[in-house]
Structure 1
C-alpha cells in the first residue's frame, strides 16, 4: 500500500508541474499560439516522462489496485491527452465542462418525479437551453419571451434551419 502511495504521489507531482505551466501562461496572459509554444518547451518533456513512467510502472502493479486502475485509465487516454500540447486553446482538464453540467447531473434524481419519461425529457431540454443562455451571456427571460413569440412562425415543416436561428448562440449573434 505504501508503495502505491509513493507511486501516486510521484504522478501527482508531475501533474502539478503541468498545472504550474498553465498558471504561468495564464499569468502572462499568453495568446493561444504562445501558450502552445510554452507547452512544447516545458510541458512536453513532463508528458513524455510521465508516459514512460506509466509504461514502466504498470507492469509492476496489480491492474485491479487503485494505482493500477488509474495508470490503465490514464494511459488509454494518453494519445488524446497529448493533443493539449499542440493547441493553446485546449485545456489541461475538462473542469469547465464538468462544472457546466454539474447542475443537470445533480438534478437527475429530481427528474424521476417529473411525471413521465416525456416530461423528464422536456425538462432536460429546457435546462439545457437555459444553461446555453447562461454560457452565451443571454438573458434567459428575454430569450424565452422572444423565442416563444416566434415559434408559431418557425414550426412549419422543412423549416429546421430557421429553428436553429432561435438557439441562444445564434439568437445573440442576430442582435437580439
Structure 2
C-alpha cells in the first residue's frame, strides 16, 4: 500500500552569509509520516517568535506569531488572470500590479538596515497595502464567474492579518520564499527515493540534507565541510561548537 510521507522544512537567517547577522543561517528538515498539526506544534513547542508560513491552518495551532506569504497570494491572482484570457485586462491585473509595487519596495531596500526597512515600508508599502484593502472592500462581495479570482480574493482576506505583519518589523520578509527554495533539493531528487522503504532511512536523509544545505547557505563547500566534521569528531575531545557552519573559518 502507498504510504504518504512528508518532509517539513524550517529555515532561519538568510540564503547566504551576511556579515554580523544576528540570526544563523539554518536549513533543517524534519521527516514525518503525517502532515498533522502535531508535527509542527511539537517541534516548535514553546516557540513564540515570528514564523513565516503559507496558508496551511496547522501553523495557527502553534504559539508563534505568524507572518504570511505574498508570493502565495500573488500566485493565486496569476491563476485568476489566466482565466481572463490573453491580452485581456481585468480585476486580477489591478491586484497583481499593486503586489508588484510591494515587491518593488522590497527590491529597493534589500540592502538597508532593519530600521531603514521598517521606515521605508511604513512610508512606501503601507499606502499600497491600503489600496489593496480598499480593492477587497469594494470588489470581493461582487465577484462572480471567475472562480479562481473569487478563490484568490478569499485567500487574501483570510490571510490578510498575516500578510500585512511584515510591515511591523524590518527583520521580516515579504514572503516565505526562503523555505520554498529550501524545498527544491527534495523536489528535484524525489524520483530517486521511489524505492526507499524505511522510516529510518528517511530520517537519515533529513539529517544529511540539513547538514549539507545549512553548509551551503553559510558559504561552505559541503564535501570539504563534511570531511572537516569527520576529522574533528575523530578526536578524543572534539570541539563541537567549532563545527557549527556559521562558526567555521573559511
The TM-score, its normalising length taken from structure 1, stands at: 0.76
* Backbone CA RMSD of aligned residues: 3.1
Counterparts of 1:108 and 1:153, CA distance in 2: 38
Q: 1:153 deviation in Å?
A: 6.3
The TM-score, its normalising length taken from structure 2, stands at: 0.56
- Whether contact under 8 Å (1:61, 1:68) holds in the other structure is yes
**Deviation string, structure 1 residues 45-98 (Cα, Å, up to 9, x no partner):** 110220231233221125981011111112222111212112222222222331
Unaligned runs of 5+ in 2: 1-82
Q: How does 1:21-170 map to 2 (within 5 A)?
A: 21-26=105-110, 29-62=111-144, 65-149=147-231, 150=233, 165=241, 170=244
Flag the 1:151–1:111 CA change in 2: closer, same or farther, 3 A: farther
Is 1:19 paired with 2:103?
A: yes
**SS of the residue aligned with 1:91?**
coil
Flag the 1:68–1:5 CA change in 2: closer, same or farther, 3 A: farther
Larger radius of gyration: 1
| Deviates further, 59-68 or 43-52 | 59-68
Q: 1:174 deviation in Å?
A: 6.0
Counterpart for residue 173 of structure 1: 247
Counterparts of 2:210 and 2:146, CA distance in 1: 37
- Whether contact under 8 Å (2:121, 2:167) holds in the other structure is yes
Higher strand share: 2
Q: Runs of 4+ in structure 1 displaced over 6 angstroms?
A: 151-154
Counterpart for residue 159 of structure 1: none
Higher relative contact order (CA closer than 8 Å, sequence separation 6+): 2
Q: How many residues align?
A: 164
